[in-house]
Structure 1
Amino acid sequence: MEVNHRKIDIDQYDEDVLVESELCEPDPRDPAEVLNDTKQKAAAVRGSLSKGDIPGALTLVLENAPYGLNFEEAKNLNLQTLVTILNSTKATEIPAVVRSLSQDTQDTLMKYLYKGMALPGWGDVSGSVLLGWHEKVRCHRIEQ
């Protein structure tokens, strides 16, 4: 019996292998419900931005952000909404905005910044915007 060892999935024999579905508790909501919630948040964010409330807009988009499997459309919409906020914020306002966010919200923001940097060509946002936000969040976390 010939066995091609290069085609054997050795992870099936490893009990410590990381499975994506085990990374977090699944969101109990239906994907359509999560997408609808994300669309409503995007509209509320536009309202906050029109009033100049950057911290409020960031809090809206980052708290209860869609997570888990089967929510890719909602995650992408949430990222696009966040990019809108990041692009509309002046660099001089970023430190005050970051200070106004809770630690959990800052953590979620950092996750989205890394997700934005992982996009091919960095999507609709320039690298300087993402890196500027990353620097301010990281520096604020170090100061604490």
Structure 2
Amino acid sequence: MEDWRRIDIDAFDPDSGRLNVEDLKPPYEATISLAELEPKISQLRSAATSGDFATALQLLTSDPPYSADETAKARYFEAVLSVLTQVRQAEIASLIKQLSSTQIDVLIKYLYKGMSVPDGQKQGGILLSWFEKLTQNSGVAPVVRYLSDRNTV
């Protein structure tokens, strides 16, 4: 007789609900174009140049362009990187405390993206300072959520 402990009983159930790769992909809305992102990019840059970093940080962490094409994401990331690099070291902790947990999750995505691209690696010290202050404030939970999230910025 066959070893009953090694039988895959789900193979005999037609309604087992097996997942495929398409089921695991997050649902996307319509693709956002660069033209649709340009107003938000200009708002980010104007807030950063006026020194209103709290507004700029709130803007960049709310409603990130997950469904944009790669060129639009790259252009938006340039604006995000310019905002993050203009903030003084002393202000970073107070700005992070103003963010919600969802906004912190988005910020950690941008920090990791910055550390993975050449333009961000040139500003690595600043990004690591943001990362340090963020983990001091929120712990490692945002990092874990980043690693398990399929949405990319």
TM-score by shorter chain over 0.5: yes
Provide TM-score, normalisation by structure 1.
0.74
Partner residue of 1:72 out of 46, 70, 73 = 70
The answer to whether the aligner puts 1:23 opposite 2:14 as a matched pair is no
Provide TM-score, normalisation by structure 2.
0.70
Higher RCO (CA 8 Å, separation ≥ 6 residues): 2
- Kindly tell me the number of residue pairs found equivalent between the two proteins: 124
The answer to whether the aligner puts 1:139 opposite 2:140 as a matched pair is no
Q: Sequence identity, in percent?
A: 27
Q: Which runs of 5+ in 1 are unaligned?
A: 1-14
**1:112 is matched with which residue?**
110
| Structure number with bigger Rg | 2
Q: Which runs of 5+ in 2 are unaligned?
A: 1-17, 142-153
C-alpha displacement at 1:73, in angstroms?
1.5
Contact 2:56 2:83 (8 Å CA) reproduced = yes
1:68-127 per-position Cα deviation (integer Å, ceiling 9, x unaligned): 3x61112111211111011100011100010111111111000111111111x3447411
The answer to whether the aligner puts 1:96 opposite 2:94 as a matched pair is yes
Contact 1:62 1:109 (8 Å CA) reproduced = yes
* CA distance in 2: counterparts of 1:125 and 1:60, whole angstroms: 24
Contact 1:94 1:133 (8 Å CA) reproduced = yes
Computed over aligned residues only, the root mean square deviation of the Cα atoms, in angstroms, reads 2.4
Contact 1:48 1:57 (8 Å CA) reproduced = yes
